[in-house]
Structure 1
Amino acid sequence: MTMLRDPSRKYNPFPQVDLADRQWPSRIITAPPRWLSTDLRDGNQAIVDPMDSAKKRRFFELLVEIGVKEIEVGFPSAGATEFDFIRGLVDSGTIPQDVVVQVLTQSRADLIRTSFDSLDGVHAAVVHMYNAVSPAWRDIVFRMSQQEVRQIAVDGAKIMRDEAAARPRTDWRFQYSPETFSTAELDFSIEVCEAVMDVLQPTAERPIIINLPATVEAATPNIYADQIEYFCRNLPNRDAAIISLHTHNDRGTGVAAAELGLMAGADRVEGCLFGNGERTGNCCLVTVALNLYTQGIDPGLDFSDIDRVIETVEYCNELPVHQRHPYGGELVFTAFSGSHQDAIKKGFAARETQNDEKWRVPYLPIDPADLGRNYEAVIRVNSQSGKGGFAWVLEQDQGLKLPKAMQADFAPHVQRMADDLGRELNAADIWQAFRDAYYVQTTDKHFQLVDYEESRGADGTRLFAGTIEVAGQAQRVSGRGNGLISSVVATLRDAFGVELEVQDYSEHALSKGSDARAAAYLECTGADGRKIWGCGIDEDIATASVRAVLSAANSALRDGDNPA
């Protein structure tokens, strides 16, 4: 088979919701929702090799550490592994008093009772019951009428009510999901949920959790938001219900659907760290939480060390977090493009000079440091990169702040290396390219400083006298000028015939790199008028300037500008 040229023969567009006066588009999210992690249940059933008890315990501890207060710990009626893990949490006293655990069960008497048994004695727990209500499931899977499906939910609710009453030591809370809500008739979903509430008798002080899952994401997020707003408006006794969202990602918009659902009136979001779940996954709690964070809202979840969170999730799930996953991916704060690198570099430079606490760095919606990431990986260099990229890397790695014109001069050297190697260049590569280009801290050069002295003549001129190694042979040389740099330039001209005319000079203290504490940059023109750059690095700034002149002289010889 191939894709149809007329897919309307096979697929129908999803119907709109009749909600002409919808309010959610003009609302904004001003506070975080309640969070429910279903990593140990929905996430666990979606991996090739489900987690053993040790991995589930490690994951549980991570969730507690980052601040999740509601955790779905399993499906106890699924088998002994699930049941024993949950009982182990309860019996060992592992569950903190401010954390409420939750278990999932179908609306079947034996499965509900097993679920209560798994949690017997815990301080507080949610029993989450569900049954599918949409037409496809009613007609194809169950072959039941609406009334029969409604009765399944009512019967299950009665068992939950009675089991809770028989176990008064625990603060029992109830959750009901009309599974497949996203593809069901809205009025029928409301009818079933109302029937469940009639049995369980929730109040505003002890509300029921009504979870409205996009079990299969079948429409755009705005339609899901319409469904949530319609449900919230029309559910009787709305004040006695917490509306929870469980979005899947079949269309790739699970996070967007959850966010719009919150705007539409929901109170709670279910999902997994990094969106693990069946098929294409479910709502990524990390993404929703950090989306809120970038809008100035404390999500109540702590991802200050996001790399350690990723390490634990990858170990427990045996699934990698994609390099481009929002906020957590290895490359999400990394720019290879030259124009991106230039903008980011300027953004960081502006932060150093402007007294503004607000984060305003182009291409970075969040400060990587807030998530425990350093800035070294923000800009990385390959054949697509520009001069701002390698300049950033040199500054971060070696503390060098290359003048803008020198960046342009150095760019072809980096480009050649990237093309020759055919891979990303790391900091060591770029530093080596810089040393090779300007003969910095390397013995592979024609002129090499051995020692020198500087003195002032009676006429106020400066005298440079020193030993310069020339092609491996030490020579005593001297020269006179208005300053140290001009005296070294005069020495090279008089002793070796090297013609340099200084155009610009700059220097700065080094904050990073080797033992050197200062760098000097020299822009010159050679005998044929070509621009030549030199760089010197030394613990003494005066010596660094001498080395910068010799660096330029070596570059001139390499480029054939002088006859020496």
Structure 2
Amino acid sequence: MMLKDPSIKYRPFVAVDLPDRQWPSRRIETPPQWCSVDLRDGNQSLIDPMDAERKQRFFDMLLKIGFKEIEVGFPSASQTDFDFVRSLIEEDKIPDDVTIQVLTQARPHLIERTFEALKGAKNAIVHVYNATDPVFRRVVFNVDKAQCTQIAVDATTQIRALMEAAPETHWTFQYSPELFTTTEMDFAKEVVEAVMAAYGASAEKKMIVNLPATVEAATPNNYADQVEWFCRHVKDREALIVSVHPHNDRGTGVAAAELTVMAGADRVEGTLFGNGERTGNVDLVTLAMNLYTQGVHPGLDFSNITPIMREVEYCNQLPVHPRHPYVGDLVFTAFSGSHQDAIKKGMAERRANPEAVWEVPYLPIDPLDVGRSYEAVIRVNSQSGKGGVSYLLEQEHGIELPRRLAMEFSQVVQEVADRTGKEITSQMIYQAFADEYLAQEAPLALINHRLSSEPDSPRVVLEAAITVDGKPQSVRGEANGPLAAFIKGLAAAGHDVEVIDYHEHSRGQGADAEAIAYVEVRIDGEAVFGVGTDESITSASMKAVVGAINRRASSAAPAANVTAETLA
């Protein structure tokens, strides 16, 4: 049961004393060094850890994305990891410009085993860690500060000697004061400086110091303050590559990573889509694409992001959430009517000026840039409106509804959505449109028509064969255009139709493109819409008027009074 006063059990984090912090006014203008830890940290979080086949598939995918540093395992802790590292090296599966990273605890026999696994590697990072947090020092390891520091120094000394004994490998040393964010800042600095001295770090012989938020315990700005404080106070900063390893216990891992890079971090460790223990590691895909949306190329290629997601799902045996940033199946999908209307207008402006800066409402990135299409941008359910309906008809069926007709038709779709309680597909929308506007074939039907005109005269004569309640009739009218002539013919036959609005366009391209016409007419004081399609725009416009008459007749036959007698 939650406590009424949680302060008796939990204490707030201690803020860093950094009144002149600089990071809030900075922007990220170049990407950090990336290191994927999917094959180690991510793998340790899985219910069923990856076997060799899935690890190899994941590794190959990371290479294609463009990762140059990949943590491939914890070889001293797992035979599977040991064998995988050996297979990468012995079968020459690591490109010359890629560095593999392995993790080890600060224990002599584990460090020895780690170097056995790395024998013959071209480029390798040996990542050693020990916990520096006061709770771990007291509760888990029962050591004081001096003993904790000595553990780190002894491990570093051993690693340095083993590196010097294998000069055929290009080595990089990495040290993590585990639980950095809950370690006293002065002590974290002290331990790191002792490790730097033991390793002999210099501007020419840089080492990586990784500052992990092993358990995210404070707001992201506090992590940034800690990193800036460390970068400003640590001795020989130029000898270090400062790395961060944010976890996501508070749900702010991405923000924490971004702010710490602003605060001076050079490198970020994380996993694709954030898989990791508890609530996960920082999500490298989101971080990279956040940079991309700000005009900074991350140096990682997610041009075809859906196959990457599917491969990660296969390897991890975990689903990626459908609303996951940039990649989820529904992340570019809007159901809300107001969102759909804004997107529709934004896409129309984009088509008119495709070279402009991307500014489409509700879409922070062009889905095409990550290999997604516009087909799923707008989907319709009971929460949708005219914008979504119109967009799908236009994008997938070439039907560009006038605004007032779109408003009317959205109510038709709304009724279907409310009745079914489910998403309405594009095909269902088109079928509803066809049923409502294109399938109204009684009581009046247009059979054929003939146009004639006098030389040098703008007026045309239209003669049309129609049926009313199945009985053949003919109408004749003369006016300045075919549709006006048809309207006059209908009036002469006893049915007054006043055209309020008219639109037309072609569906498709080329000689075989179909014409579609939309009319809004007034019949007995009531506005009614009609739609007609045909190879001929003249026929399409006449069919639209006929459709409007039939729709009026089906909804209120006595008022419209459309019968064979009235048109005789």
Instruction: Establish whether TM, by shorter chain, passes 0.5.
Output: yes
Query: Conserved in 1, the CA contact under 8 Å of 2:173 and 2:208?
Result: yes
Counterpart in 2 of 1:215?
Answer: 214
Counterpart in 1 of 2:507?
Answer: 510
Counterpart in 2 of 1:319?
Answer: 318
The CA distance in 2 between the partners of 1:314 and 1:322, in whole Å, is 10
Counterpart in 2 of 1:145?
Answer: 144
Residue 534 (1) aligns with residue 552 (2): no
The letter of the residue matching 1:61 is D
What is the 5 A alignment of 1:75-474?
A: 75-354=74-353, 357-438=356-437, 440=438, 442=439, 445-456=442-453, 461-471=459-469, 473=470
Query: Conserved in 2, the CA contact under 8 Å of 1:116 and 1:163?
Result: yes
Query: Conserved in 2, the CA contact under 8 Å of 1:399 and 1:513?
Result: no
Q: 1:365 aligns to what SS in structure 2?
A: coil
The CA distance in 2 between the partners of 1:125 and 1:446, in whole Å, is 82
Q: 2:504 aligns to what SS in structure 1?
A: strand
The CA distance in 1 between the partners of 2:383 and 2:485, in whole Å, is 42
Shift of 1:537: 2.0
Q: 1:147 aligns to what SS in structure 2?
A: helix
Counterpart in 1 of 2:50?
Answer: 51
The CA distance in 2 between the partners of 1:213 and 1:260, in whole Å, is 14
The CA distance in 1 between the partners of 2:147 and 2:512, in whole Å, is 80
RMSD value, Cα: 1.9
Q: Which moved more, 1:449-458 or 1:81-90?
A: 449-458
The CA distance in 2 between the partners of 1:101 and 1:426, in whole Å, is 47
Query: Conserved in 2, the CA contact under 8 Å of 1:380 and 1:424?
Result: yes
Query: Conserved in 2, the CA contact under 8 Å of 1:83 and 1:118?
Result: yes
Counterpart in 2 of 1:548?
Answer: 544
The letter of the residue matching 1:463 is V
Distance change (3 Å), C-alpha of 1:205 and 1:544: farther
The letter of the residue matching 1:139 is R
Shift of 1:320: 1.0
Distance change (3 Å), C-alpha of 1:498 and 1:377: farther
Which blocks of at least 5 consecutive residues in structure 1 are unaligned? none
Counterpart in 2 of 1:19?
Answer: 18
Q: Which moved more, 1:79-88 or 1:261-270?
A: 79-88
Cα deviation, 1:346-377, whole Å, max 9, x if unaligned, reads 11112233475211111111111111111121
Cα deviation, 1:114-144, whole Å, max 9, x if unaligned, reads 1111121111010111111101101111111
Query: Conserved in 1, the CA contact under 8 Å of 2:440 and 2:550?
Result: no
The letter of the residue matching 1:138 is R
Q: Which moved more, 1:48-57 or 1:512-521?
A: 512-521
Residue 484 (1) aligns with residue 459 (2): no
Query: Conserved in 2, the CA contact under 8 Å of 1:480 and 1:487?
Result: yes
Shift of 1:443: 7.4
Cα deviation, 1:441-487, whole Å, max 9, x if unaligned, reads x476543444332222687543333443545x362523213121123
Cα deviation, 1:483-532, whole Å, max 9, x if unaligned, reads 2112333444455x5432111111112238996432211111112x1111
1:557 aligns with one of 546, 553, 559? 553
Q: 1:78 aligns to what SS in structure 2?
A: coil
The CA distance in 2 between the partners of 1:514 and 1:346, in whole Å, is 29
Distance change (3 Å), C-alpha of 1:489 and 1:123: same
Counterpart in 2 of 1:522?
Answer: 519
Q: Which moved more, 1:79-88 or 1:33-42?
A: 79-88
The CA distance in 1 between the partners of 2:279 and 2:507, in whole Å, is 49
2:472 aligns with one of 471, 475, 488? 475
Query: Conserved in 1, the CA contact under 8 Å of 2:466 and 2:475?
Result: no
Query: Conserved in 1, the CA contact under 8 Å of 2:35 and 2:68?
Result: yes
| Identical counterparts, % of pairs | 54
Cα deviation, 1:43-86, whole Å, max 9, x if unaligned, reads 11111111111111111111111111110011111221111111
Query: Conserved in 2, the CA contact under 8 Å of 1:516 and 1:538?
Result: no
Q: Which moved more, 1:236-245 or 1:336-345?
A: 336-345
Shift of 1:534: 1.2
Q: 2:76 aligns to what SS in structure 1?
A: helix
Q: 2:87 aligns to what SS in structure 1?
A: helix
The letter of the residue matching 2:517 is A
Query: Conserved in 1, the CA contact under 8 Å of 2:441 and 2:550?
Result: no
How many pairs were matched up? 558
Shift of 1:337: 1.2
The letter of the residue matching 1:329 is G
The CA distance in 2 between the partners of 1:152 and 1:537, in whole Å, is 82
The CA distance in 2 between the partners of 1:370 and 1:185, in whole Å, is 44
Which blocks of at least 5 consecutive residues in structure 2 are unaligned? 563-568
The CA distance in 2 between the partners of 1:544 and 1:89, in whole Å, is 67
The CA distance in 2 between the partners of 1:353 and 1:512, in whole Å, is 18
Distance change (3 Å), C-alpha of 1:466 and 1:411: same
The letter of the residue matching 2:330 is L
